[in-house]
Amino acid sequence: MSAPQAPATPAALRQRRSMIGAFIGTAIEWYDFYIFGTAAALVFSQTFYPEIAPGAALLASFATFWVGFLMRPIGGMVFGHFGDRLGRKNILVITLVMMGAATTLIGVLPTYAQVGILAPVLLVVLRGVQGFAVGGEWGGAVLLSTENARSEKKGLAGAWVQQGSPAGSILATLIFLLVGLLPDEQFLTWGWRVPFLLSALLVVVGLVIRLKVEESQDFEKVRSRDEVAKAPVLVALRTAPALVALGMFASVMGIGSAYFSNTFLLSWTTGSLGIDRQLMLNILLGMAIVQFIWQPIAARISERFGVEQVMLAGLALNIVMVVPYFLAISAANPVWIAATLYLTIIGGTAYYALLATQLAAAFPAHIRYSGISLSYQLCATVFGGSTPLIAQWILNATGGSPWGVAAFYAGLLLITVAGVWGLRAAVRRHASAAPEPSAQPSRA
């Protein structure tokens, strides 16, 4: 007869609630963000930009998609400021409500045929609100999870925040698979709206869970020592500009690859390459499932071999897979596309699972929300939202050849490797040079 298990300690319960609350809220926010990307690839060029030539309409749809990314660093700065001054938890409640409201309203927007130019204008405004909200969400969720975790479990805690991305992608793809079964006329008329309207229900669930989470322990220590920075964004830019820049480069593939696959690749394969829409959505669903399963495993592996070592090994696998991946795409072979995509996502997931932990470790606690939000969201603006737009422009300019796009994709990988490597070196130099400052930041 086995001995009864000892009850979980308060610290363990706090860690578990923080990880679950960060994961659920982040999954809902990424669901909202991903359904917009899927709709941008499949619907918006026809419902909001119908009077433009098809290729140009797709570019306009992707440009609207990019608006959310342009707003993300602004959201990161605003919410990072208040998150470093007032705490992580309350800010995350605000971002969740804001994101859900914007997404639900997109689901009831009139189309261009109904109200003319007002339709794409409203779409752009609501997309901007989405970007502003998610700009504050990711950094706060990372900190709520990692700052309430034991030191040996910070890698796993950060990985569970990253689980929100594939979870949101899985849910978004499943919903679009269901509404995609509708005849094209019904799908374009009302079916695409269902995933957006579902967001209202998901936000209620997320709020119930997130309101039960305790505030970050690291922030409570900073507040108890009166070390809260008055202008944390300015402090981060003044005292750690190199960390912000390197964090931005280290995040490139963590952001860009998702929108390359879920938006640009979906549009490319179901458009000029002629692959069935439902089949491609199923392939992307499988990709998200592989990511969801593999990320916690990669985090466990990092506990033995180190965070940066696992990240760099995953990126190296992605570089090796560039040529096979694009050969499969150019052949328009769904089986080979799926096989190479899944191998690519295994490498990318090993890196992405640990990105949150690496960024959180790079910044001192009094500017951590602002620092990681600036890095991640500036990257989202420059590299994330622009990825499908640039890739589509390259594809148009090269007459449909995959190799210009492949070179662009490989360039993003090399920038990411340089960022991860440089951030590791910078953090080690900083740690060996001086201890973290104490009360000075509160007077900055």
pLDDT for position 7? 53
pLDDT for position 82? 84
Rounded to whole angstroms, how far apart are CA atoms 400 and 394?
8
**Crossing angle of the two packed helices 88-106 and 54-86, in degrees rounded to 10:** 160
Q: Look up tokens 């609350």; give the residue.
A: 21
Residue 402 lies in a domain: yes
Q: CB–CB of 347/317 below 8 Å?
A: yes
Rounded to whole angstroms, how far apart are CA atoms 218 and 357?
15
Angle at 288 between CA 150 and CA 173, to 5 degrees: 125
Per-residue pLDDT band at 437 (split at 50, 70, 90): very low
From the number of C-beta atoms within 10 Å of its C-beta (0-12, 13-18, 19+), residue 80 rates as buried
Count of structural domains, the chain: 1
pLDDT for position 50? 79
Residue 162 lies in a domain: yes
Could you tell me what percent of the chain has a pLDDT over 70?
Answer: 92
Residue 271 lies in a domain: yes
Rounded to whole angstroms, how far apart are CA atoms 325 and 343?
9
Residue 172 lies in a domain: yes
Residue 1 lies in a domain: no
Domain boundaries, position 156: 12-211+227-431
Looking at residue 241, what DSSP letter applies? H
Distances (CA, A) of 92 to 207, 397, 420: 9, 42, 27
Looking at residue 353, what DSSP letter applies? H
Per-residue pLDDT band at 442 (split at 50, 70, 90): very low
pLDDT for position 317? 96
Residue 99 lies in a domain: yes
Least confident of 196-200, 225-229, 320-324, 431-435: 431-435
Which amino acid is it at 404? G
Residue 365 lies in a domain: yes
**Which residues lie below 8 Å from residue 238, measured CB to CB, with a gap of 6+?**
444
Nearest Cα neighbor of 283 from 264, 256, 295, 265 is: 265
Report residue 280: phi and psi, to 5°. -70, -35
- Inform me whether the pLDDT recorded for 153 exceeds 60: yes
**Which residues lie below 8 Å from residue 122, measured CB to CB, with a gap of 6+?**
109, 110
Least confident of 113-127, 200-214, 370-384, 425-439: 425-439
Residue 100 lies in a domain: yes
Reading the block at residue 66, the tokens are 């990019």
pTM recorded for the entire structure: 0.74
**Tens of pLDDT along 380-396?**
888 877 888 899 899 98
- CATH number of the domain within which 246 lies: 1.20.1250.20
